[in-house]
Structure 1
Amino acid sequence: MARPINLLPSCLLVFIGAWAGVGHALRPLLLPAVWLMALLSGGVAVASCVVNDYFDLRSDTINAPHKPLPSGIVPPDGALLLASSVYIAVLVAACLMEPPLLRAIIAFSAAATLLYTPLLKRITGIKTATVAAIIALSPVSGALAAGAGWAGVCATAAPAAFAFLAMAHRETLMDLNDVAGDRAAGVWTLPVVAGPRAALATTAVLLAGAAAVAIGAALLGSGLAWAWARNPAAEGDAIRVSIDR
């Protein structure tokens, strides 16, 4: 239920954001705040998967009866207790994080994932955008945890954009496999509303966008690489902020 495979990308995006946010320096990757942020990002990912299965029990009975909840391996109360415990731990640990914007991102991610299945998932487009936005905020949170200033946060634009488009592509593909159960549960995903062909066309556009961002970052540099080139002192300032911490 926790889908441990989701932990690695959640944590990795935080480290990428920390690295990019301070001018591609490795030292910030050793900061305790960055590691804590990576753990919190992974915690939100785990809790969201468990709570999603809890609220998705009805549709999973049709779409995926082999899952722990619909198959009866895990009781619903046990899943709810696990998700609640992880959410509480994440929010308590978030109180230790600086700056305030970072705490706001953690709180938003926790709230959005908690409301995702019972509320946001039923709204066409909002479902996919919510998941993609939460993942896209991971590199931004990494830069903030590393002590990067505003210019450093903006330097995570490329990884954040790639994460958003790639996750939107993945979510839409997953919705294509869940049409029957989603329709029965009243979840109006894009494949349910517009049909499989429109959904496939959307996935193609999203994949092309993600590829364009990746190619552009490889050729031109990510985020504000052009700003570093015009003002090298800005990169040095970002690195010094991280080292001073």
Structure 2
Amino acid sequence: MQKPVQPLAATLLIIRFLKPITWIPVMWSFLCGAVASGGFSWNDLTGQKFILGMLLTGPLATGTCQMLNDYFDRDLDKINEPGRPIPGGDISLKNATILIAVWSALSIIAGWLIHPVIGLYVIIGIINAHLYSANPIKLKKRLWAGNIIVALSYLIIPWMAGEIAYSSSISLSSLTPSLVVAGLFTLSSTGTMTINDFKSLEGDSRSAIRTLPVAFGETNAALIAAVLINTGQLLAALYLFSREQGLYAAIVILLIIPQFILQFPLVRSPKTMDVRYNALAQNFLVAGMLVSALAIQAARP
């Protein structure tokens, strides 16, 4: 039964339902795409377009996807995270459905206001969230597929949205450097998504959700995640070298080193080191993303 809540408590509950901690990587990807476009300057940080982009990639689109995930994973959350709003009885399924519908509409409108193509991207992202969480497809059950689709939604889609938002003209040739770099960092992001799966290992095992930790065991999954994380960044650095941007490439490689060091304790004890790894190592990965975006910007004519 849904618990009665006061207006302030209801607002805080909705914010918790939207999972603000998950907004940051998507907002960062949008920023990297904007920087890579060559049409963005740091003065634009206070511009209406950038603020709308942050609202879109943070509380609106990402918040919508998080609500969808909680809605469809409510039975799993009874095991993994019983304090979440739906399994905890704080939000009814009816109210959750209304919130998801309203947030989906607001997200599409905000995307369209920035650029019609971005409105289409938002629709794709919402579809991806359904594919990830909803039966009968539920890509989360299908080993690699779940992490890949989340990584696409967290990295390539917002990166390209940022690029399109600030590009003076859109063509395949102008978008190619961002597509390549964002794609390679998406490979790394697939690894970080695997690390997020350790916290729900018990519920996933009991519910036959075949994440990498369930399918291959904790140690092997951590090794696979580390290889993916490092490989994507190394390939991004090699791509920058191929574009004769050696300094940027060298910085990206240097940023991999602390991540590599932090992966040793992660592999030894994935379930106890996963949060610490993400809290520390992710900073170096996202710094590499921005360095790569600056490299693409520097090479613009």
Name the TM tier (shorter chain). 0.7 to 0.9
Match of 1:200 among 199, 217, 222: 222
Does the CA contact (< 8 Å) of 1:154 and 1:223 recur in 2?
no
Q: CA deviation at 1:22?
A: 1.1
1:60 aligned onto 2:130: no
**Residue identity opposite 1:206 in structure 2:** L
Structure 1 range deviating more: 80-89 or 21-30: 21-30
The 4+ residue runs of structure 1 with deviation greater than 6 A are none
Does the CA contact (< 8 Å) of 1:63 and 1:181 recur in 2?
yes
CA distance in structure 2 between the aligned counterparts of 1:226 and 1:207, rounded to whole angstroms: 21
Matched residue of 1:96: which SS? Answer: helix
Match of 2:202 among 137, 157, 180: 180
Q: CA deviation at 1:214?
A: 7.0
Match of 1:78 among 95, 107, 122: 95
1:144 aligned onto 2:164: yes
Partner of 1:160: 182
Q: CA deviation at 1:145?
A: 0.7
Does the CA contact (< 8 Å) of 1:61 and 1:70 recur in 2?
yes
Does the CA contact (< 8 Å) of 2:34 and 2:163 recur in 1?
yes
CA distance in structure 1 between the aligned counterparts of 2:43 and 2:65, rounded to whole angstroms: 31
Summarize the Cα distance change of 1:213–1:36 in structure 2 as closer, same or farther, 3 Å threshold: farther
Does the CA contact (< 8 Å) of 1:10 and 1:138 recur in 2?
yes
Does the CA contact (< 8 Å) of 1:18 and 1:29 recur in 2?
no
Unaligned runs of 5+ in 1: 236-245
Per-residue Cα deviation, 1:119-154 (whole angstroms, up to 9, x for no partner): 222222110000001112211110101124334423
Partner of 1:120: 139
Matched residue of 1:70: which SS? Answer: coil
Query: Given the two structures, how large is their TM-score scaled by the length of structure 2?
Result: 0.66
Does the CA contact (< 8 Å) of 1:169 and 1:207 recur in 2?
yes
Summarize the Cα distance change of 1:24–1:41 in structure 2 as closer, same or farther, 3 Å threshold: closer
Q: CA deviation at 1:201?
A: 1.5
Q: CA deviation at 1:223?
A: 6.2
Does the CA contact (< 8 Å) of 2:151 and 2:186 recur in 1?
yes
Partner of 1:91: 108
1:133 aligned onto 2:152: yes
Structure 1 range deviating more: 33-42 or 141-150: 33-42
CA distance in structure 1 between the aligned counterparts of 2:101 and 2:296, rounded to whole angstroms: 44
Does the CA contact (< 8 Å) of 1:14 and 1:138 recur in 2?
yes
CA distance in structure 1 between the aligned counterparts of 2:177 and 2:50, rounded to whole angstroms: 17
Unaligned runs of 5+ in 2: 1-16, 241-246, 250-290
Q: CA deviation at 1:11?
A: 2.0
Does the CA contact (< 8 Å) of 1:17 and 1:159 recur in 2?
no
Does the CA contact (< 8 Å) of 1:123 and 1:189 recur in 2?
yes
Q: CA deviation at 1:213?
A: 5.6
Structure 1 range deviating more: 142-151 or 127-136: 142-151
CA distance in structure 2 between the aligned counterparts of 1:130 and 1:62, rounded to whole angstroms: 24
Structure 1 range deviating more: 204-213 or 102-111: 204-213
Does the CA contact (< 8 Å) of 1:59 and 1:184 recur in 2?
no
Query: Given the two structures, how large is their TM-score scaled by the length of structure 1?
Result: 0.79
Matched residue of 1:10: which SS? Answer: helix
CA distance in structure 1 between the aligned counterparts of 2:28 and 2:248, rounded to whole angstroms: 22
